[in-house]
Amino acid sequence: MAPPTPPSRSTQTSPEPDPHDDAHPALHPSVTSVPVTPGVHLAGGSAYIEPEDTREKSSLPFDPETATPGPSWNANSYFAPKGGEKDRPSSPTEVAKGAKSGEELLRRLSIIPDPSKQKHDLADVDPRAAHPGLNLSGRVISANFTVPYSIGYSPGNDWELNSRRGTSALFDSFSYLASASSPWNHVLVGWTGEIQELPSARPPSSASFRATTGHVQPNKAAAPIPVDASKPPPPPPEGIRIGRKDRDRLEQQLERDHGGKVVPVWLVDEKDEKTDTVLLKDQSRWRRYAEYELYTLFHYKVNAPADGRAARTSWANYYRMNKLFADRILELYQPGDIIFIHDFYLLLLPSLLRHRLPNIYIGFFLHVPFPSSEFYRCLSRRKEILEGLLGANMIGFQSYSYSRHFSSCCTRILGFDSSVAGVDAYGAHVAVDVFPIGINAAATQKQAYGDPVIEEKVKAIRELYANKRIIVGRDRLDSVRGVAQKLQAFEIFLEKYPEWHGKVVLVQVTSPSSVQPDKNEDNRVVNKISDLVARINGTYGSLAYAPVQHFPQYLDKEEYFALLRDADIGLITSVRDGMNTTSLEYVICQKENQGPLILSEFSGTAGFLAEAVHINPWDLGGVADAINQALQMTPEERKEQHTKLYKHVIENNVQAWTNNFLKRLMTNLSSFDQSFATPSLDLTRMLAQYKKAKRRLFMFDYDGTLTPIVKDPQAAIPSDRVIRTLKTLASDPANAVWIISGRDQAFLDEWMGHITELGLSAEHGSFMRHPRSDEWENLTEKTDMSWQSEVIDIFQHYTEKTQGSFIERKKIALTWHYRRADPEYGLFQARECQKQLEKTVGKKYEVEVMTGKANLEVRPRFVNKGEIAKRLVQAYGEGPDEAPDFVLCLGDDFTDEDMFRALRQSNLPNEHVFAVTVGASSKQTLASSHLVEPKDVISAISLLNGKSDAGNVGAVAVVEGSIPESRL
């Protein structure tokens, strides 16, 4: 492997989109580039990026002398560059060569900081040996929305890769997995992000170039050029075109120059198959649904109502993006790989992978908060999001409250049983657990205290704010970060405690948000903050003193660490937050000063850092009191608080978080049998096969499938939408549509008989009425029915004992219903009745006792829905051009399992058969897919009829390559 080639200083202009084109003037680079510490040089990158410099780097991706679990990265980098292949150990085995004891082996692998105090299980060293039954490959494939780099493109040249801002802890986790310190091999899969054309790629006068890269500096020396008005201006370029060679070059660069294998996902608008060229147009659209709908709602904000068209389009793009991620991962997948999926951009990915590989190992971690069910219910695609997540084997959250909210949503919205341990869904147990993420504590400490530039800046800040106590806040420009609440509380503090006037300064750094902002909200937040700063400084400041120093910018790494070291108080007032890593970095940087940390109880970090001073950011007076309390802490109190916080942050670092998550996932995989899991129906695959098929067979149950279960069976009449949907489906000459129900002939004739194209089967296959026929065929004409009198006697006995139960007499079967009875007592009586029937009638006659949805049914043993399904399939013939090439079978209860069994035993190819069980109960089934309720059934059938709705428009976009123009 060639050594990494850092970008030269001349290429350090970031290719990221310029966020300032339409932004508030206060966010313009001319304002945000002002240094916090005047008089000190501006070396370094941002507070989240390791600058590309020429300082010597270790050939290993960690410092063995100071490493805590995992490698010792730069705390603010994402991937530490690795040395040449000859210098880098190829595996943990190579690192372990020559170890004379188990303790030395663990120290070499950087798995324990103190071998005398900690014990490690086998999973820390060799996961495959620890869990032999899982047949692990030893590889983790991480799926993240973007790769760790902002990417610049110039045709035919090497791609420009600059570190991407944001989520440093997560990228440190990937760095750890890719290092020799981890027992895993690692691949990172992520979108390229918005690719930017470099200035050399097009003339600066290009309209497209201005649109994609932001401001273009005019050439002031250029004279005006006459324009011929008779000639139309040339059309602007329609986007960025990238050929196969350039795409391959990027993939090779990512694999060659950076730690671990990084595989890009190409999200394109068009692809020319002849030239193998892709076209990128509106690249930011892949973010819109996640950042405008999900991020907003997950942080307890609600968007203004709109007509629905934009939401429909953004949802379709969100679905397509997750589908393309699934395709890319499956290209790389090997049996035994663990798929580790991250955050709200990829909530559908677990289920999309589960559709294709039912036994795949999937862990998911949500880095942002999860809302309560009362708020989550406002999300229009609430069911699809939950179903997507439940494709994972284990789902992790930052705090217990977020995990509890998720489980509650699965119960309230999908009807699945749940507990604090997880959710029982689709025939399997999906584990739910809490894993507060940490930072690379050792690397953070080394950087904060090991750089002479930082020491110089620390000194400059102390001189700048001499004889003043410094309160530091560092937040994103987002209303949920609580900057306005912080300033208002500080204003109350100055009013309430005048003795601190001239003695305290609040240094507030506000950097641009990592998500695509709502510009109107952005401007409102900026204006609010600016007004508050001006008001506070105008009221309590003077020519020599400004109590608030506000810096709306990214900080250099050196300035960031210097501020954290110099601070007397860290103040975080988030009103809704996941894991706030600034608080963790503050604790590390306060090793000498031992300043107290004031932390919002609404941050995911609050439960993680119990020793901090917790505040409610909405209680402005309470925050003011907490500031005063923190300023008056004695050195002993500060030391006691900091010692506990420091120990916690050091021990619960990002490497430990990564290991703990994967070990818990493996434990859950070993503990719960996932082989019976039934994923949700893959609408994309179903629609694609339907369009290819020429001979299609449909078999639908009625109660609980086409219509909801109701207390009075006679009230379960089909809606107008159900009738119209079935009639449209059956009108296609290539479709044979059958209703196979436990209902009697009279009911089916009354409500379905007028659709002459439908085939009907009554009483679980005892009677059949073929399409375009009025005659019913009795398949049980010669059957001995003498058993019925004994069954009636037993049913009558239990009817008298069970208030609300009743008997339904059909021509062939007898059914005892208890859906109107008390649920618990009715179920108890049903079990007693079933035992009596099986001991008596079941032994004397060829009948079987079937349990259904709140009923018991006795029928001849040879009569079941499976026989009808078998008969219908065989009627086509068995030749390659005779058998149906699309079969959709839907049912909700035990009696429908016979149909699923018959289809499994047929010779039809698996990709042609869609056997779908319906209902929220987490049952083990012979079906291959799952839908939650009858409404989903009608939506799926409507999709085949060419009528997409907001829920299935994503499948249409994937199969047809376009999004239907509709708001419905």
Name which of 623, 633, 627, 599 is nearest 613 in CA terms.
599
Pull the structure tokens for residue 55.
């300082």
Distances (CA, A) of 111 to 107, 119, 132, 655, 665: 6, 10, 21, 9, 19
| Residue 198, C-beta contacts closer than 8 angstroms, at least 6 positions apart | 15, 152, 153, 154, 160
361 SS3 class: strand
Question: Residue 345 has which token pair?
Answer: 């951009």
Cα-flanking dihedrals φ and ψ of residue 576, to 5°?
Answer: -165, 120
Q: Are 583 and 61 in contact, with CB atoms under 8 Å apart? A: no
| Dihedral over alpha carbons 108, 110, 113, 114 (to 10 degrees) | -30
**Residue in 312, 313, 278, 314 with CA at minimum distance from that of residue 295:** 314
Q: At 271, is the secondary structure helix, strand, or coil?
A: strand
Q: Name the phi and psi angles at 270, rounded to 5.
A: -145, 160
Query: 3-state DSSP call for residue 937?
Result: helix
What the block records as the tokens of 907 is 């010779």
Asked if 562 contacts 458 with a C-beta cutoff of 8 angstroms, the reply is: yes
Tokens of 883: 């058998």
Q: Which two tokens stand for residue 805?
A: 């139960």
Active site residue 701: yes
Structure tokens at 506: 């609040």
> DSSP class of residue 292?
I
What distance in Å separates the CA atoms of residue 79 and residue 182, rounded to the nearest whole number? 14
Q: Is the CB of residue 846 less than 8 Å from the CB of residue 862?
A: yes
- What are the residues whose beta carbons fall under 8 Å from the beta carbon of 273, sequence distance 6 or more? none
Q: Are strands 417-419 and 469-476 parallel, antiparallel or unpaired?
A: unpaired
Q: How far apart are CA 39 and CA 462, in angstroms?
A: 13
DSSP 715: G
Count the neighbouring beta carbons within 10 Å of the beta carbon of residue 945: 17
Q: Is residue 201 helix, strand or coil? A: helix
Give the integer Cα–Cα distance in Å for 694 and 735. 8
Q: Which of 246, 518, 522, 701 is catalytic?
A: 701
CB atoms within 10 A of CB 691: 11
> What does the alpha-carbon distance between residue 80 and residue 847 come to, in Å, rounded to a whole number?
71
Count of C-beta atoms within a 10 Å radius of residue 651? 14
DSSP string, 123-164: GGT-HHHH-GGG---SEEEEEEEE-SEEEEE-TTSPPEEEEP
Cα-flanking dihedrals φ and ψ of residue 184, to 5°? -110, 150
Contact indicator for 454, 546 with CB cutoff of 8 Å: no
C-alpha span between 768 and 753 (Å, rounded) = 12
Nearest to 216 by CA among 199, 240, 238: 199
Helices then strands, counting H and E runs in the chain, come out as 33, 33
Close Cβ partners of 323 (under 8 Å, ≥ 6 residues apart): 348, 352, 684, 954, 958
Nearest CA-CA partner of 896 in 748, 695, 703, 678: 703
Burial 189-202 (b: 16+ CB within 10 A, else e): bbbbbbbbbbbebb
Q: Is 898:659 a contact under the CB 8 Å cutoff?
A: no
Catalytic residue numbers read: 701
